[in-house]
């Protein structure tokens, strides 16, 4: 008796997703807009591989004793652990350490690409997402920090956001270090404490208190082990979110850090409505050594559950002066900021700020396929987005295809049109509008304005006329 063939189940891995044409096109536009802004500041692109040696990630790993905790890892044929990059800063530190002698100082680069985190997924939180980073390595001047913040402001406005719809907040890790020292937090607990307090925007005071203590059970029932602090330590740390540590009360070094950045930004036209101090900005990674920053959106958006929420952070970063020293033993000052592309894109789409795709034109296959290829090629040469249909010959099926793909126009050159040196152009959107209102055949015939027949040599001219009002 023969066995049925074993077939895999068609399913996505948990925490990953497929992305379709509309989102990809919108993301491409967003990335190109940011790229233009960053290059206008003189930053140059860099690409690093998806995999790094696991030991190169260092402080990026939530637990260095378990390589698959927090990151996706595997062993190569040399029995070396490799990990998919957790973010784009660890590869940069490795690249700078390898090429330090030949790089210009300061070295300024941007990089965009996917990163992977082996963490529990949730609504809007995926295990693979795209980041867009900009970093300056080799300068300890607050001007390097201020420039990044101003550049991010320019990028957000280039994407269509208005003043008041976003703010870039600045704090210093020195303030946090002082609070952790005052709370007697042991070095071994520091990483767990940072990750807990960085979740304040999402979990609120109660959730952060639980993570600073014994731990927290989420909505699904999964338990996250906490930092294990006592009530006195937790209360001391939570002063960060009560407005404690106003800049006038900070130690002199910290005051100089923040004040210098704000002064440079203000003198350059970026006042406190765009770049401002906030003692509640933490950043969860342990490697930050000085100023830390977050770009936050201030307007409400509708999430996947249909709820109205304030979107919050779409970018973050800070100064990390010790990362390159892990490889070389020599401290190299560095500062950077990273935009969460997917997160920012979701917010912009909710505001209708991602633009529209170039209209698609479908040339139907009606007899001579070579002629439909020629018409499509002629339209593409004129700058239009056009495809020649290559499936079934049934015209109704072709029209359904064009409609399902959101085509703006279809072009038809059947035997009758070809014999008369003509070509027909149908406006699908106009046709759909007419179909909603007509009630008799006479009205339908009279509404043939949705379809026009023109001289074959006027194809490009007529398409341009039809699409011009839609542009």
Read off the tokens for 81.
């652990």
Q: Are 212 and 197 in contact (CB under 8 A)?
A: yes
| Residues whose CB is less than 8 angstroms from the CB of residue 212 and which lie 6 or more positions away in sequence, other chains included | 193, 196, 197, 226, 227, 229, 233, 234, 237, 238
Angle between helices 173-182 and 190-197 (to 10 degrees): 120
Q: What domains can be seen in the chain, in order of their start residue?
A: 21-50+85-350 (3.30.930.10), 360-470 (3.40.50.800)
How many whole angstroms separate alpha carbon 411 and alpha carbon 419? 16
Read off the tokens for 309.
């929420």
The reported pLDDT for the residue numbered 32 is 97
Four-residue CA torsion sign, 271, 273, 274, 279? positive
Against a cut of 0.85, is the pTM above it? no
The reported pLDDT for the residue numbered 83 is 93
Number of other residues whose CB lies within 10 A of the CB of residue 250:
20
Q: What is the 3-state secondary structure (H, E, C) of 237-299?
A: HHHHHHCCCCHHHCCHHHHHHHHHHHHHHHHCCCCCCCEEECCCCCCCCCCCCCEEEEEEEEE
Q: Are 412 and 424 in contact (CB under 8 A)?
A: yes
**Which positions of the chain have pLDDT values less than 70?**
1-2, 58-68, 242-255, 284-285, 302-310, 431-449, 470-471
> Residue 441 is inside which H or E element, if any?
helix 441-446
The reported pLDDT for the residue numbered 443 is 47
336 three-class SS: strand
Number of other residues whose CB lies within 10 A of the CB of residue 444:
13
Looking at residue 450, the DSSP 8-state letter turns out to be G
Name beta bridge partners: 134: 110, 337
> Which tens digit of pLDDT belongs to each residue from 53-83?
998 886 545 454 556 678 899 999 998 999 9
């Amino acid at each position: 008796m023969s066995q049925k063939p074993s077939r895999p189940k068609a399913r996505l891995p948990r925490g990953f997703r497929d992305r379709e044409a509309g989102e990809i096109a919108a993301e491409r536009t967003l990335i190109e807009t940011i790229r233009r802004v960053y290059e206008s500041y003189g930053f140059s692109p860099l690409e690093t591989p998806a995999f790094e040696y696991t030991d190169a990630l260092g402080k990026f790993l939530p637990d260095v004793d378990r390589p698959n905790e927090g990151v996706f890892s595997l062993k190569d044929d040399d029995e070396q652990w490799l990990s998919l990059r957790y973010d784009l800063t660890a590869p940069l530190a490795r690249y700078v350490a390898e090429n330090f002698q030949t790089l210009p100082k300061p070295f300024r680069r941007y990089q965009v690409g996917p990163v992977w985190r082996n963490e529990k997924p949730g609504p809007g939180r995926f295990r693979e997402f795209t980041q867009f980073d900009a970093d300056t390595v080799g300068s300890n001047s607050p001007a390097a920090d201020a420039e990044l913040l101003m550049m991010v402001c320019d990028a957000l406005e280039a994407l269509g956001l208005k003043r008041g719809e976003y703010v870039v907040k600045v704090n210093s890790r020195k303030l946090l270090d002082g609070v952790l020292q005052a709370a007697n937090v042991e070095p071994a607990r520091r990483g767990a404490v940072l990750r807990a307090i960085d979740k304040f925007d999402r979990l609120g005071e109660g959730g952060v208190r639980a993570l600073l203590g014994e731990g927290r059970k989420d909505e699904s029932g999964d338990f996250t082990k906490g930092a294990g602090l006592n009530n006195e330590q937790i209360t001391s740390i939570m002063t960060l979110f009560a407005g404690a540590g106003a800049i006038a009360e900070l130690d002199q070094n910290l005051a100089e850090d923040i004040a210098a950045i704000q002064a440079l930004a203000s003198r350059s036209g970026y006042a406190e409505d765009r770049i401002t101090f906030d003692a509640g900005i933490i950043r969860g990674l342990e490697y930050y050594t000085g100023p830390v920053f977050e770009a936050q959106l201030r307007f409400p958006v509708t999430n996947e559950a249909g709820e109205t929420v304030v979107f919050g952070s779409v970018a973050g970063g800070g100064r990390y002066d010790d990362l390159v020293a892990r490889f070389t033993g020599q401290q190299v000052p560095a500062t950077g900021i990273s935009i969460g592309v997917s997160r920012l894109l979701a917010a912009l789409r909710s505001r209708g700020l991602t633009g529209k795709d170039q209209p698609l034109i479908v040339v139907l296959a009606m007899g001579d396929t070579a002629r439909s290829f020629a018409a499509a090629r002629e339209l593409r040469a004129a700058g239009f987005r056009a495809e020649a249909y290559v499936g079934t010959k049934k015209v109704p099926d072709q029209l359904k295809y064009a409609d399902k793909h959101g085509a703006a126009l279809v072009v038809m050159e059947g035997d009758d049109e070809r014999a008369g040196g003509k070509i027909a152009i149908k406006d699908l959107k106009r046709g759909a509008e007419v179909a909603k209102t007509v009630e008799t055949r006479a009205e339908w015939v009279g509404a043939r304005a949705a379809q026009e027949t023109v001289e074959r040599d006027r194809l490009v001219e007529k398409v341009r006329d039809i699409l011009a009002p839609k542009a």
